[in-house]
């Protein structure tokens, strides 16, 4: 896929500054650009653009300075670039409807414009909403439902009786509704507590790859609407995660923990179970949350403290080796005086 710069200007408009015969074979970021690439630069990135390896750059129309490379000056470089992305990246065609290589159980409701790809398994009594796309090797358990326009990527497991909302995206190899980690121990032998609840994922939730969200022992594990979950996150049984949270990769939320709305967990955060974490809060990466937390909290560290305390402590802890020496000095002086 190659286009002359002059052809590109015909598509997106703008003012061509330089040789329109230049052939563009790809679109790229400034820092990864190579010859044949076209990039875009907004204010704050113009200097970087001047020295990038791209053959041409789309820059803001209002840029007044000298620009040493072939460029297209245009009102909104980013919008123009997005338009080109659609042309340069070939569209993927996924045939609508139910593949004859898929397995569909009894009493399944599949909306007419849903897509079920080869090797997908849809269990008895499941429901697939309008415009939903079920990729290959996905398992939709018995009596589970997938909302409208929701995309389930390859290799996802959604166990029985779970509900996935509308406009959700669930990435590959993620498991929703696996049994919670619940055992009663007698004489050192662990006996499984039946996990008869489910998982409810509300609307507009995105869940990354290789995530595990366990079904409730009873009732539901809930992921609130608009919440976004990164890769390799663990959410244990009976958790209730609020709306519009951001949960970064490798975070683990222990069982029966309730998280409010608009809470951000940085990467590799952990929490104990059976606590309440207030809304509108941010917890820095690696935070270890060991107790109930108020709203509007900016936390860090393990055990968790305010982010400013944590910073202060980090600085102080670096001084401990020197502090020990100072105390030894003081003890020496005191004892001398005592002699």
Sequential DSSP letters for 22-82 = PEE-EE--GGG--TTEEEE--TTSHHHHHTSS-SEEEEETT--S---S-EEEES-HHHHHH
Toward its own copies, which CB reaches closer, 14 or 270?
A: 270
178 phi and psi, to 5 degrees?
-65, 160
Per DSSP, helices labelled H in 51-170 are: 77-88
Per CB under 8 A, does 2 bind its own copies?
A: no
Per CB under 8 A, does 291 bind its own copies?
A: no
Question: For residue 211, which of 177, 255, 240, 245 has the smallest C-alpha distance?
Answer: 177
Per CB under 8 A, does 144 bind its own copies?
A: no
Number of residues that bind its own copies (CB under 8 A): 106
Per CB under 8 A, does 111 bind its own copies?
A: no
Per CB under 8 A, does 244 bind its own copies?
A: yes
Site for its own copies (CB under 8 A): which residue of 101, 113, 298, 308? 101
Residue 139: strand pairing partners: 121, 157
Site for its own copies (CB under 8 A): which residue of 53, 181, 278, 307? 181
Toward its own copies, which CB reaches closer, 15 or 323?
A: 323
Residue appearing with tokens 């002086």: 333
H helix or E strand, kind and range, residue 310: helix 307-318
- Would you call 45 a catalytic residue per the annotation? no
Distances (CA, A) of 188 to 158, 183, 184: 32, 11, 9
Toward its own copies, which CB reaches closer, 76 or 154?
A: 154
Of these residues, 137, 142, 237, 274, which one is catalytic?
237
Question: For residue 293, which of 306, 309, 312 has the smallest C-alpha distance?
Answer: 306
Toward its own copies, which CB reaches closer, 6 or 78?
A: 78
Per CB under 8 A, does 242 bind its own copies?
A: no
Per CB under 8 A, does 127 bind its own copies?
A: no
Question: Taking CB under 8 A as the criterion, which residues in 17-56 touch its own copies?
Answer: 27-29, 31-32
């Amino acid at each position: 896929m190659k286009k002359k710069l002059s052809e590109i200007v015909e598509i997106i408009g703008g003012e061509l500054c330089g040789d329109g015969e230049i052939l563009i074979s790809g679109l790229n970021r400034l820092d990864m650009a190579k010859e044949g690439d076209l990039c875009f630069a907004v204010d704050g990135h113009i200097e970087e653009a001047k020295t990038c390896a791209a053959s041409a750059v789309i820059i803001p129309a209002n840029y007044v300075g000298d620009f040493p490379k072939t460029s297209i000056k245009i009102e909104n470089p980013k919008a123009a670039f997005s338009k080109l992305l659609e042309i340069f990246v070939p569209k993927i065609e996924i045939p609508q409807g139910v593949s004859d290589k898929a397995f569909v159980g009894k009493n399944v409701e599949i909306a007419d414009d849903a897509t079920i790809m080869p090797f997908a398994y849809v269990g008895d009594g499941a429901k697939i909403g309008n415009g939903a796309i079920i990729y290959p090797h996905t398992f939709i358990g018995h009596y589970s439902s997938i909302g409208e326009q929701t995309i389930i990527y390859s290799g996802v497991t959604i166990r029985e009786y779970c509900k996935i909302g509308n406009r959700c995206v669930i990435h590959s190899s993620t498991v929703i509704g696996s049994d919670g980690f619940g055992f009663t121990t007698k004489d050192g032998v662990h006996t499984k507590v039946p996990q008869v609840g489910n998982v409810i994922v509300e609307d507009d939730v995105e869940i990354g790859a290789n995530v595990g969200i366990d079904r409730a022992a009873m009732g539901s594990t809930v992921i609130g609407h608009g919440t976004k979950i990164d890769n390799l996150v663990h959410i244990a049984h009976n958790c209730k995660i609020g709306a519009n949270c951001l949960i970064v990769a490798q975070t683990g939320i222990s069982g029966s923990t309730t998280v409010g709305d608009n809470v951000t967990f940085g990467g590799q955060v952990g929490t104990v179970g059976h606590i309440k974490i207030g809304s509108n809060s941010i917890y820095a990466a690696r935070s270890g949350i060991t107790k109930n937390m108020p709203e509007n909290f900016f936390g860090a560290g393990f055990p968790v403290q305010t982010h400013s305390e944590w910073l202060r402590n980090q600085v102080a802890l670096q001084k401990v080796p020197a502090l020990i020496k100072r105390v030894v000095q003081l003890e020496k002086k005191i004892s001398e005086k005592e002699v």
